[in-house]
Amino acid sequence: MKRMLLAALGLLFASSAFAQDAAEEAGIDQAISDAVAPIVNPIVSTVFYSVPLFGTDFPLIVGWLVVAAVVFTVYFGFIQFRGFKHSIELVRGDYFDPKDAGEVTPFQALATALSGTVGLGNIAGVGVAVYLGGPGATFWMILAGLLGMASKFTECTLGVHYRNEYPDGTVSGGPMYYLSKGLSEQNKAALGKFLAIFFSICCIGGALGGGNMFQANQSFAQVSSIIPFFEGKGWLFGLIMAAVVGVVIIGGIKSIARVTEKVVPFMAVIYVGAALLIILMNIGGVPAAIGEIIGGAFAPTAVAGGMVGALIQGFKRAAFSNEAGIGSASIAHSAVQTRHPATEGYVALLEPFIDTVVICTMTSLVITITGSWVPDSGVTGIDLTAKAFTSNISGFGYILAIAALLFAFSTMLSWSYYGLKAWTYMFGEGQAKEIVFKVIFCIFIIIGSSMSLGPVIDFSDAMIFAMAIANIIGLYMLMPKVKALVADYQEKLRSGEIKKVT
């Protein structure tokens, strides 16, 4: 296996060294962009098929996610508000049987799933949303986050209920399993299988897009703005990043992953702390900022098509950031130790709350409050966020660059695993097959950091949202099952069969 790794890396280095001789450095980036664009563009335009609505194009897929979130919210009787307290109790371990010590706790499942979703979406994605949709996008983002909690609840409950538990004690779960197993219970095995395969293909695409290229691209943007050496050398940055990721996922050097997993929560705390600090420093401006956010949300005249533009951007970035309805988190949540799948639904609904309602809102408040948003200025994505933070805390750009790099890295590791799970679901397990996927994953890091932001974001969005097509069809068909599981669980809570352990 080591030899294969070395050969693969050698090949990467050789081809890039050759390319370096052949062309100017900026030319390499351009060449990679040009080569990928014809493949990417048709996919993007299919997934984001839009209908004209109030003078702007409204992508149907965004409506698809929001309608689903509303349906689940109503169907489960506003579970995200009624069950919020119970969620906190579960994560705190109030119901965790001490006999199960050593198993995966609800806290661990939540933390791992969060480290996959809290990432550049919260820093760069919000920058994009505010740039294109104005501060009003924040309002819709929060609303989408609150609604998305119900989608997460549904998919993570199913993920645990239909997971595979193998004789050796490992588990595999996620949409591919509940789609195929759940629907075959309803005598729709063929449809279930089809949706599971469709989901898996999109999941691999999502892993390579939003879970990889977008991350590589945005962390490169941040690093190159601080270290001028890298400017225009996206391929070189990508190569380094690919080598580090490759060492972890192909070479199996777990210690790097472990260090990252420890540093990421720490960075998240620093990030939120800095955001809070800036908000406190400008406390006088908060009412005005909130006014701008709410005003912008309903304004007929804001940029990018007014209210509808803000709404589309807000919903899109929220979905991209918290992945509710996408199905990815269900893969991470499936491993938890519980006798009642519904408990994991409760735990998972905290995820969009922390990710979107808390962290994304902080970012956009900072951008709004500091007045960093200038329409049509070209300052978007992570640059906009960086500008907002540095305007109050000079030198924060460096911290942000490190945070961005680490967030990107941990998100890549999570997604490489999600993608791998989808890959092995389709092609079966086996070391050679797994290495093929991992090498492809590393190559896409180089592609991602070489391309300009637009095509990367489009592709990332397209693939991630495509996952939601299959996932949500399945969720609709399986939601009575979830309701039964939840009713059973709540009955046991009421009767005292499930009690807090004190």
Partner 1 sequence: MADTFVVGFDGTASAKRAVQHAAVHAKAGGGTVHLVHVLEWSPYSFLTPEELNERHKRREEELARAKAIVQPIVDDLKAKGVNATCEVRHGHAGELLCEIAETKQARQIVIGRTGSTSIAARLMGSLALTLVQASPVPVTVVP
How near is the Cβ of 386 to partner 1 at its closest, in Å? 27
State in Å, rounded, how far the first CA of the chain is from the last one. Answer: 49
Q: How far is CA 18 from CA 15, 24, 59, 231, 359, in A?
A: 5, 12, 42, 20, 43
Amino acid sitting at position 498 = I
- Whole-Å CA distances, 137 to 284, 285, 359: 22, 18, 15
State in angstroms the smallest separation of the CB of 405 from partner 1: 18
Which position among 16, 108, 390, 452 is part of the footprint of partner 1 (CB under 8 A)? 108
Instruction: Candidates 90, 109, 176, 349: give the one binding partner 1 (CB under 8 A).
Output: 109
Q: What's the min distance (Å) between Cβ of 69 and partner 1?
A: 24
Angstrom distance (rounded) from CA 275 to CA 391: 12
Residues 279-338 that bind partner 1 (CB under 8 A): 331-332, 334-337
- Taking CB under 8 A as the rule, does residue 38 contact partner 1? no
Among 32, 90, 257, 463, contact with partner 1 (rule: CB under 8 A): 257
Single out the segment in contact with partner 1 by CB under 8 A; choices: 66-74, 259-267, 363-371, 472-480. 259-267
Contact criterion met (CB below 8 Å) for 444 and 463: no
Among 450, 179, 466, 457, CA closest to 317: 457
Stretch that binds partner 1, among 19-27, 40-48, 227-235, 257-265 (CB under 8 A): 257-265
Residue 168 in the binding site for partner 1 (CB under 8 A): yes
| 96 is a site residue for partner 1 (CB under 8 A) | yes
Cα dist. 332→155, 172, 204, 336, 439 in Å? 11, 9, 15, 9, 22
Residues 196-255 binding partner 1 (CB under 8 A) are 254
Dump the DSSP string for 109-134. HHHHHHHHHSSHIIIIIHHHHHHHH-
Shortest distance (Å) from residue 421 CB to partner 1: 8
Which pair of tokens denotes residue 55? 């003078």
- Residue 20 as a binder of partner 1 (CB under 8 A): the answer is no
Site string for partner 1, 113-142 (x = CB under 8 A): --xx--------------------------
Contact 175, 155 (CB under 8 A): yes
Q: Which of 38, 52, 102, 496 binds partner 1 (CB under 8 A)?
A: 102
Q: What's the sign of the alpha-carbon dihedral 115, 273, 382, 144?
A: positive
Per CB under 8 A, which region of 48-56, 108-116, 346-354, 449-457 contacts partner 1?
108-116
Nearer to partner 1, 254 or 499 (CB): 254
Q: How far from 263 is each of 60, 115, 221, 259, CA to CA, in Å? A: 38, 11, 21, 6
Determine which residue in the list 31, 63, 84, 93 makes contact with partner 1, applying CB under 8 A: 93
* Residue nearer to partner 1 on the CB measure, 213 or 335: 335
Which residue's CB is nearer to partner 1, number 93 or number 455? 93
CA distances from 354 to 114, 348, 427, 482 (A): 8, 10, 35, 23
**Phi/psi zone of residue 371: left (φ > 0), alpha (ψ -120 to 50 degrees), beta?**
left
Residues of this chain that interact with partner 1 (CB under 8 A) are 93, 96, 98, 101-105, 107-109, 111-112, 115-116, 165, 168-172, 254, 257-258, 261-262, 265, 331-332, 334-337, 413-414, 417-418
